Amino acid sequence: MMDSYIDAYAFRPYGIDIKNCLRSGNLVDAKKLMDFSFNTRQGGQQRAAIKNYEKEKRKVLILIKNSLLTLFNKDIEPKKRFETALANINAIKDVGQKISSMFIKFLVYYSDDFERRNELIKELFIPFDSHVIRLLFVKFNGKKTNRLNLYDETINQAALKYETEINQEISLKENKLVMLQKNIQEDFENLGIDEPPIILDYLWYVGSMYCSRRFGDVGCRICFLREDCEKGYTE
């Protein structure tokens, strides 16, 4: 279902040659893919973010290019490739864990086969919608914020120097969001699930499609998280 949704709403409308985008280093298609990822945001936050994103177009293109080169570099071990590419995309203004994780997932997961691709797929982070993060960390864990950064600011600043390989050790923050990603990866491995954790697309899709900001009560009524969400629909 999700593959059909993404094909119908991203790859075909935006004219993206997703299978060859990463292999060919096609910056035009990669930028279109980034545009789609950005447009999953909603309301005033979306408008402000897209305005800044377009204003920084030159930086955006360089950071995307560096991510493509890193992801396809077979001489770098998969975990390092992913975390370095993620740091480049995460350095784009107004791009957080959801958009950066989603963009890289599309590039790697839907791309034609290449050396060590399956190892790289296992390292990918699941994109979490902000409403899902709020549900997980505010309601269930009593946290007061859903804005959890993946990297320290020094990592983002290094990426903004347009270095293909950041000249310092990439280290993700040890916050609850990163630990959740690692726990899901470990659970999939321990349960012997053949598919990688990145198949869990619904954790970004739910906010984009069902959130009450877009559809009102109708979205809440059909959302599969409604029973746990503090804004959920009740009979």
pTM for the full predicted model: 0.79
pLDDT at residue 103 in the model: 93
The answer to whether the CB of 210 falls within 8 A of the CB of 232 is no
Decide if 217 is inside a domain: no
pLDDT string in tens for the chain (235-residue length): 677 878 887 888 888 888 888 888 889 999 888 888 877 766 545 666 677 777 888 888 888 998 998 898 888 889 888 888 888 888 887 788 888 899 999 999 999 888 889 999 999 988 888 777 777 766 656 655 545 555 555 545 555 454 444 445 555 556 677 777 888 888 888 888 888 888 887 778 777 677 766 666 777 777 877 777 766 544 4
Decide if 225 is inside a domain: no
pLDDT at residue 124 in the model: 92
Beta bridge partners of 151: 172
pLDDT at residue 230 in the model: 62
Residue 59's SS3 state is: helix
Decide: residue 234, CB within 10 A, 0-12 exposed, 13-18 middle, 19+ buried: exposed
Decide if 29 is inside a domain: yes
Give the range of the structural domain holding residue 94, as residue numbers without chain letter.
Answer: 2-199
pLDDT at residue 104 in the model: 93
Q: How many domains does the chain have?
A: 1
Q: 26: which residues sit within 8 A by CB, 6+ positions away? A: 17, 20
Decide if 152 is inside a domain: yes
Decide if 227 is inside a domain: no
Structural tokens at position 103: 């963009």
The C-alpha atoms of residue 44 and residue 48 are separated, in whole angstroms, by 6
The answer to whether the CB of 229 falls within 8 A of the CB of 135 is yes
The answer to whether the CB of 188 falls within 8 A of the CB of 196 is yes
Decide if 206 is inside a domain: no
Directed axis angle between helix 78-90 and helix 97-109, to 10°?
130
The C-alpha atoms of residue 30 and residue 200 are separated, in whole angstroms, by 22
Beta bridge partners of 172: 151
Phi, psi (degrees; rounded to nearest 5) at 161: -80, 5
pLDDT at residue 146 in the model: 47
Decide if 218 is inside a domain: no
Decide if 77 is inside a domain: yes
